[in-house]
Structure 1
Amino acid sequence: MDYFLWGYVKDRVYTEPIESIATLKLKIRDVINEIDPPFCQKVIKNFDERIDICRRGRGGHLPDIIFHS
């Protein structure tokens, strides 16, 4: 999962203390199921753009990379 998307899920999951692994798993599933397709498409598009920047930079330092949400 893309780092942005995982951060988004994590922020939504941990809005309150989690009392068990089962609750954690359920909460993760619920948050992921609430994500709408246009949001995922935006994340994928941004990820593709960042990959292209990495390719053009030949894997070097990327001081100007921008992360959009």
Structure 2
Amino acid sequence: MYKIDPIVKKISSEIVVCIGGQKLEYCSGIELSKAQFDKRYVIDRIYAENERIIIVLKEADINSTDWCQDKDVGFF
């Protein structure tokens, strides 16, 4: 289970996580489990929009350097 840093709660009341065109909305107490996804994702970009924090995930390319093997840090 991964948790988004609690300091995010002070910045925004809502966080939207996007995977492709699909938006998954979570309130400030966010937890994302690897079990929710059948593939591994990495953070593509993060930005603010209308007092929300938008986290866009992209599918990790296992053969590239955009993913991290060290204890799965950065994976959702």
> TM-score higher than 0.5 here?
no
Q: Which is greater in Rg?
A: 1
TM-score, length basis structure 1: 0.24
Q: Which has the higher strand share?
A: 2
TM-score, length basis structure 2: 0.23
Q: Which has the higher helix share?
A: 1
